[in-house]
């Protein structure tokens, strides 16, 4: 009991016997984090999450707010005296923010919603509220660009439907190689071929031999960054009929640069 007992095997120590008190003392190390250290580490991590994070008590007084809160609300949050949430950020009062906060407080229900920002005009936020132990966590991030992209996609789809209903405007999306990726029904009707027969084939193949170099050169210029071009050409339908068309070529910009071009066609009488 006065000291450890070393157990050896062929002269090498393999085990050490110690009394129970010494063993219990060995299990408690300075590296074991305390509850306060755990909380501080969690808040330090929350400060680098790519969304605003607010932690409140059940009295809706702010215990923590990360650095994104000021950017998304336009309000600085001083935490020295655990300020009241709605006094610090009054735009939340009587808004959909408050509705979701109250619901989570009352029933513990986690909520998620996309909301118009009460802080800045024409901005949108994605809000999450949930209970974290005795605290209420409020998290939100800016999704304005996502909403705008969705609206633009809806607008583009509506324009294509309107072009089909119009009947006099055709559409084709071209790859960077000048091949057809997509066409609308009006284009298929005018050339007399189904879309699956057209995809993957160069658009220039549908023109007369005289006009093919004209289209190839114009498409190459547009893909290289020349401003949008318009040209008059003659297309040849599947039944041999010739169609006089005006073609507008516009460069198609994607997330990673040029992704091809869009061609619009209107028909003229020969």
| Residue 17, strand partner residues | 5
Best CA proximity match to 234, nearest among 270, 188, 181, 203:
270
Task: Give the pLDDT score at 40.
Answer: 67
Q: Which residues contact 134 (CB under 8 A, 6 or more apart)?
A: 57, 58
Give pLDDT, residue 39: 60
Q: Which two tokens stand for residue 70?
A: 């000021």
CA distances in angstroms from 53 to 50, 125, 171, 197, listed in the order given: 9, 13, 46, 53
**pTM score > 0.85 for this model?**
no
Dihedral angle of Cα 186, 189, 194, 196, to the nearest 10 degrees:
-30
Nearest to 250, CA basis, from 179, 186, 174, 151 = 174
Please report the pLDDT score of residue 154 as a whole number: 87
pLDDT at 4: 86
Return the pLDDT at 38.
57
Residue 42, pLDDT score: 65
Stretches where the chain sits below pLDDT 50 are: none
End-to-end CA gap in the chain: 111
Calpha distance 156→4 (Å, rounded): 80
Q: What is the pLDDT of residue 35?
A: 56
pLDDT at 209: 94
């Amino acid at each position: 009991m006065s000291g450890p007992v070393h157990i050896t095997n062929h002269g090498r120590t393999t085990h050490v016997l110690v009394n129970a008190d010494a063993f219990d003392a060995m299990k408690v190390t300075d590296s074991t984090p305390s509850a306060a250290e755990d909380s501080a580490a969690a808040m330090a991590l929350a400060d680098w999450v790519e969304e605003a994070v607010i932690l409140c008590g059940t009295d809706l007084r702010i215990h923590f707010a990360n650095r994104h809160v000021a950017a998304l609300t336009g309000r600085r949050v001083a935490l020295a005296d655990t300020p009241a949430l709605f006094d610090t950020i009054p735009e939340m009062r009587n808004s959909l923010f408050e509705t979701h906060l109250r619901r989570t407080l009352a029933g513990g229900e986690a909520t998620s919603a996309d909301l118009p920002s009460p802080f800045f005009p024409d901005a949108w936020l994605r809000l999450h509220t949930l209970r974290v132990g005795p605290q209420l966590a409020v998290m939100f991030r800016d999704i304005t660009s996502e909403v705008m992209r969705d609206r633009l996609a809806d607008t583009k789809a509506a324009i294509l439907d309107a072009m089909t209903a119009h009947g006099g405007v055709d559409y084709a999306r071209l790859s960077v190689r000048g091949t057809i990726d997509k066409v609308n029904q009006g284009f298929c009707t005018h050339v007399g071929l189904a879309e699956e027969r057209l995809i993957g084939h160069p658009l220039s193949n549908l023109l007369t031999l005289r006009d093919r170099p004209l289209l190839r050169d114009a498409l190459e210029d547009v893909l290289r960054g020349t401003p949008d071009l318009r040209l008059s050409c003659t297309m040849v339908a599947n039944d041999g009929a010739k169609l006089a068309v005006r073609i507008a070529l516009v460069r198609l910009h994607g997330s990673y640069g040029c992704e091809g071009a869009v061609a619009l066609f209107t028909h003229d009488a020969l």
